[in-house]
Amino acid sequence: MTIQDIQEEIVKEFSLLDGDQEMTLYYLMELGQKLPALPEAARKEENEVKGCQSKVWLTATAEGNKMILSADSNTAITKGLVSLLVRVFSGQAPDDVLAAELTFVKRIGLDRFIGTQRSNGFAAMVKQIKFYALAFKAQLAGI
SS3 state of residue 69 = strand
**Residues of the chain whose pLDDT is less than 50?**
none
What is the span of the domain harbouring residue 76?
3-140
- What does the chain come to in residues? 143
User: Rounded to two decimals, what is the model's pTM?
Assistant: 0.93
**Alpha carbon 52 to its chain's center:** 13
CA distances from 134 to 69, 84, 113 (A): 14, 20, 30
Question: What CATH code is carried by the domain that includes residue 96?
Answer: 3.90.1010.10
Q: How many domains does the chain have?
A: 1
